C-alpha cells in the first residue's frame, strides 16, 4: 500500500506526489531514499517455487506471507527473545518480479543489521531462515550490500514491485 509509505518522514517529495509514476526521476529519488533509509549490510536474490506448494498457486499474498515469515526468523536469530520484546528488527527492503517470461518469481532484497552483528552471523541467520521457509527455492545469491547501485536495481522496473508493506528501517540497540 503506497499510503503506508507516507509515514516515513524522510521520504522525498517527488516519491509521495508520484506525478510521473514510472519516470526516471521518481525511480532515482526512490532509490536514493531507499539507500539512505538504513545502513544496509546484505543484498540477496531469492527465487521462489514455480509450482504449487501444498496445493496453492504462487500469488502476491503468498509472496508477502513468505517474506514476513523469513524476516521473522532472521530477526529471531539476530535479536533473540529479549530484543524482539523491545521491538528490534533488521532493516528490510524487497522488490519482486516474475522474470522476462513471467514464470520466474524472485525477490531482490536488502537487509540492514546493526554494526555489532557480524556479517557472517547475518548470513548464517539468513541461510537458516531460508532453510525453514516454504516457497523459496535453493536458487539464491547472497552478498554484501556494496553501494547505491543495489537500491537502484531494486527500483529498475518501477516502484510498484517494491514490497511497501514490509519496508522497514533498522531498529535496534546493543543487547547486553
What are the tens digits of pLDDT across the range 122-149? 999 999 999 999 898 888 999 999 999 9
Cα distances from 75 to residues 32, 91, 121, in angstroms, run 25, 10, 12
Q: Output 53 or 163, whichever has higher pLDDT.
A: 163
The overall average pLDDT reported for the chain is 82
| The pLDDT value given to residue 44 | 96
Q: Is the pLDDT of residue 158 over 70?
A: no
Q: Is the pLDDT of residue 11 over 90?
A: no
E-state strands within 86-152: 91-97, 106-112, 136-144
Give the model confidence (pLDDT) of 16-32 as tens digits: 334 444 567 778 888 99
| pTM of structure | 0.80
Q: Where are the domains of the chain?
A: 2-166
Largest Cα separation within the chain, whole Å, is: 49
Q: Which residues contact 18 (CB under 8 A, 6 or more apart)?
A: 2, 26
| The pLDDT value given to residue 1 | 38
Q: Output 128 or 164, whichever has higher pLDDT.
A: 128
- Mean pLDDT (whole number) for 141-159: 88
CA 103, CA 159: separation in Å to the nearest integer? 20
Which grid coordinates belong to 88? 528490534
CB atoms within 10 A of CB 105: 21
Given CATH 3.30.70.360, say whether it is the number of domain 2-166.
yes
Q: Is the pLDDT of residue 9 over 50?
A: no
CA 20, CA 74: separation in Å to the nearest integer? 36
Our CA angle for 52, 93, 42, nearest 5°, is: 100
Q: Is the pLDDT of residue 82 over 70?
A: yes
| The pLDDT value given to residue 176 | 53
Amino acid at each position: 500500500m503506497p499510503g503506508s509509505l507516507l509515514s516515513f518522514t524522510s521520504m522525498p517529495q517527488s516519491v509521495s506526489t508520484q506525478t510521473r509514476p514510472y519516470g526516471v526521476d521518481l525511480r532515482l529519488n526512490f532509490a536514493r531514499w531507499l539507500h539512505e533509509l538504513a545502513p544496509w549490510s546484505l543484498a540477496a536474490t531469492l527465487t521462489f517455487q514455480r509450482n504449487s506448494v501444498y496445493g496453492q498457486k504462487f500469488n502476491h499474498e503468498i509472496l508477502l506471507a513468505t517474506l514476513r515469515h523469513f524476516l521473522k526468523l532472521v530477526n529471531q536469530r539476530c535479536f533473540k527473545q529479549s530484543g524482539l520484546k523491545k521491538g528490534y528488527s533488521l532493516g528490510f527492503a524487497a522488490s519482486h518480479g516474475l522474470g522476462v517470461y513471467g514464470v520466474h518469481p524472485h525477490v531482490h532484497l536488502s537487509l540492514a543489521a546493526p554494526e555489532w552483528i557480524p556479517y557472517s552471523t547475518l548470513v548464517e541467520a539468513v541461510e537458516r531462515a531460508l532453510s525453514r521457509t516454504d516457497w523459496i527455492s535453493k536458487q539464491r545469491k547472497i552478498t554484501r550490500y556494496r553501494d547505491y547501485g543495489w537500491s537502484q536495481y531494486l527500483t529498475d522496473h518501477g516502484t510498484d514491485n517494491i514490497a511497501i508493506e514490509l519496508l522497514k528501517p533498522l531498529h535496534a540497540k546493543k543487547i547486553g
